[in-house]
Chain A
Amino acid sequence: MKSPRQPTGHQRFSRRKLLTLGSGASAAALLAACSAQQSATTPAAYPDFQPTLESLNNLELRDITVGFVPITCASPIVNAAAMNIFQLYGLNVSLRRYTGWAELWTAFVAGELDASLFLSPMPMAIHHGFASGQRNIRQPFITNTNGNGITVAKRLAHKVHGPQDFAGLRLGLPFDYSMHNLLARDYLLTGGLDPQQDVDLRIMRPADMVTALAVGELDAFCLPDQFNQRAVAEGVGFIHVLTKDLWHEHPCCSFAVAEDFAAAYPNTYTALLRAIGDSALYIDDPNHRAQTASLMAQSAFLGLPEPVLTAVLTGNFADGTGKQHSIPDRIGFQPYPHESYGVWMLDALQRWDLTGGQQFTTASEYSTAVSDVFDADSATAVLNALGATTTERASETVLGATFDPTNPAAWSQQL
């Protein structure tokens, strides 16, 4: 069949001409795009990473699946995969992404995962059986300190200035066993509120909360900084407070492995700690933050808009009220698991009735419950070799009051 409308010679000529013109004009841009894409898909294009420690040659196991939730807290683990640091330490790690913490908890206890990112309070809850699902666990690293905030809907900008202003508001939280839940509740306490009675606390998927804030389904949320920054970028909220200002260098997420895994594959365990420790300290360096942000923004890793991730990692950000900030320690990557962290979390879990009825009273009960889970020895061996800090802290300053890990109960009475 003949097409009813054949292009005339003139039309055909002009079309070809147009094509030639177009290809000439965009050739440079096309080439540039190609090369950019190439470097993005081959992380080896960052040859500047030299492993600080030796890789072990007697690994019992090389292929490991590590669980994570795509948030900035996972940076040391994700960066170790993105920059091939795991491979440099002889490991073949595949990352498995989870969208919620309950799924991850279930997968870990069911034995589908042996190593994973966790919210810092989760390993203690899993080890001591505070809720459904128990598995013995070792928690060697805190993957990040700080790096979270409370964002409030823009429409409440004139109303919310301090913790006392959250009365009657709907506050989104990611999980019961999270620092967000524990810190936000104590923050509300400092405003004279009873978080159970005066505030509508809602557990939601972090990914749903920016939308929920936008449509007026939530009034505020306490989440990792990428969501706070996302809400600012979308113009729906403003950053009310960074958790860094509630507790400077507070723990947030952590890396932990099953006890049976660490016992069966001790060298593999050490290699994992070397790779993640090396990666954490590399991205802790302010000079590496922008590069890390662009690498991890890819969909294979965190899958976030790069400007949002850059604002979080470099600490140069807009807070949504028109103010611009430069806070380099907005998020930190010093992995040592301080016992003071564990004692504070345990005390908070107990105060909010999240220990499944288990009671901890004496300082030694607290200390034992924490050191059963925190693997400070393994962390110290790796971090000393990397030149990172491993000194225990005698006290923490949380919400303006001194927290003494040898007398945890005294802190909440000061609030």
Chain B
Amino acid sequence: MTTSSQMRHRRGTRDRQAHRLKAFIGFVVCFAAIIGIWQLVTTGYDDGGLAPTPAASWQRLIEVLSTALVYNPPNDFGIVFHLLASLQRLAVGFVLAAVAAIPLGLVLGTNRVLHDALDPIIQVLRPVSPLAWLPVGLALLRDSEATAIFVIFMASLWIILINTIDGVYRVNPLYLDLAKTLEATWANRTFKVILPATLPGIVTGLRTALSTAWLVIVAAEMIVGNRGMGTFVWNEWNAMNINSIIVAIVIIGVVGLVLDRSIALLHRLIPTT
């Protein structure tokens, strides 16, 4: 019994290792192909580096990373400080949105009348590009930092809200019936039954919202703010350093991936039902 299960386990590990190896080789091949196509496309141009080549972008990446920790306000910041500024805005706007959207979602999910009353408003505001809020935010808040956070807030709010409501609807009615039979109090019903059962929906909402917010912050910072990844892209473009834009794309992408993976870890913390 034990030996056969050990063998099965070992075979599983071997399969998994083979799979990983294949995937890694596939990755290397695809990556090389992308670089090759990039090189082919850009060598066709004789434009003094307007279209960035892989080599020039690599060189610029090294430059940007070697000055990553420069802190020389108000005009000279290394990439690390741009990144930190963006992440900080992201965190504040995102947490504010979560704090507002999760309780509201729980209320709307459990109260049909309130839900149907607010639904038209939510459905109208939801598809609006968060960037459209930027001029409004600037006019109302009169502060670029607050406006950037407001845009992140608007980008995250609807996604978290709708996923939370959806999560409540997916709660197994058996639990609710049971809670009713046991005459659970409102607080017990909400915090001990509905909230835990809704967590998967909430985490999905948080995860989608975070990647959307990261997408938006870079665009918002191109218009407001003096530090951040968006400001970096905007300034480098206006200095006509196109190589830097590639560097920024890589960094923004990698950070986005890390953010997504770290919030995905939350899924593992949720007890499966």
- Write out, one digit per residue, whether chain A residues 230-259 have a CB within 8 A of any chain B CB (1) or not (0): 000000000000000000000000000000
Cβ A134 vs Cβ B76 within 8 A: no
The smallest beta-carbon distance between B72 and chain A, in angstroms, is 7
Cβ A197 vs Cβ B50 within 8 A: no
Taking CB as reference atom, which chain B residue is nearest A136? B48
Measured between beta carbons, the chain A residues less than 8 angstroms from B243 are: 132
Taking CB as reference atom, which chain A residue is nearest B48? A134
Q: Which of B28-36, B187-195, B230-238 makes up part of the contact surface?
A: B230-238
Tell me whether A131 is interfacial, beta carbon within 8 Å.
yes
Q: Which of B50, B135, B226, B238 meets A110, CB within 8 Å?
A: B50
Q: Which of B143, B223, B240 meets A133, CB within 8 Å?
A: B240
Interface residues of A in 102-144 (CB under 8 A from B): 102, 105-106, 109-110, 125, 129, 131-135
Tell me whether B91 is interfacial, beta carbon within 8 Å.
no
The smallest beta-carbon distance between B199 and chain A, in angstroms, is 40
Taking CB as reference atom, which chain A residue is nearest B141? A215
A215 and B134 CA atoms in complex are apart in Å by 13
The smallest beta-carbon distance between A201 and chain B, in angstroms, is 6
Taking CB as reference atom, which chain A residue is nearest B242? A132
- Write out, one digit per residue, whether chain B residues 189-210 have a CB within 8 A of any chain A CB (1) or not (0): 0000000000000000000000
Measured between beta carbons, the chain A residues less than 8 angstroms from B52 are: 132
Measured between beta carbons, the chain B residues less than 8 angstroms from A101 are: 238
Cβ A133 vs Cβ B138 within 8 A: no
Measured between beta carbons, the chain B residues less than 8 angstroms from A216 are: 142-143
Cβ B49 vs Cβ A132 within 8 A: yes
State the interface size on chain B (CB cutoff 8 A): 27
A406 and B239 CA atoms in complex are apart in Å by 28
Cβ B226 vs Cβ A170 within 8 A: yes
Sorting the interface of chain A by its residue count into under 10, 10 to 19, 20 to 34 or 35 or more gives 20 to 34
The smallest beta-carbon distance between A113 and chain B, in angstroms, is 13
Interface residues of B in 80-134 (CB under 8 A from A): none
The smallest beta-carbon distance between B189 and chain A, in angstroms, is 47
Taking CB as reference atom, which chain A residue is nearest B239? A176
Measured between beta carbons, the chain B residues less than 8 angstroms from A199 are: 74-75
A203 and B232 CA atoms in complex are apart in Å by 11
A213 and B75 CA atoms in complex are apart in Å by 19
Taking CB as reference atom, which chain B residue is nearest A129? B48
Measured between beta carbons, the chain A residues less than 8 angstroms from B74 are: 197, 199-201
The smallest beta-carbon distance between A252 and chain B, in angstroms, is 18
Q: Which of B49, B144, B240 meets A102, CB within 8 Å?
A: B240
Which has the most chain A C-beta neighbours within 10 Å: B74, B76, B223, B234? Answer: B74
Cβ B239 vs Cβ A110 within 8 A: no
- Write out, one digit per residue, whether chain A residues 172-191 have a CB within 8 A of any chain B CB (1) or not (0): 00011100000000000000
A89 and B239 CA atoms in complex are apart in Å by 37
Question: Can you name 5 extra interface pairs (CB under 8 A) apart from A208-B223, A211-B138?
Answer: A110-B50, A133-B49, A176-B240, A199-B75, A215-B142
Q: Could you jot down 22 A-B contacts, CB within 8 Å?
A: A102-B237, A102-B240, A132-B48, A132-B50, A133-B47, A133-B50, A134-B48, A170-B226, A175-B238, A176-B238, A176-B239, A176-B240, A177-B240, A196-B76, A199-B74, A199-B75, A200-B226, A201-B74, A202-B226, A203-B238, A208-B223, A216-B143
- A-contacting residues of B (Cβ < 8 Å)? 47-50, 52, 72, 74-76, 135, 138-139, 142-144, 223-224, 226, 234-235, 237-243
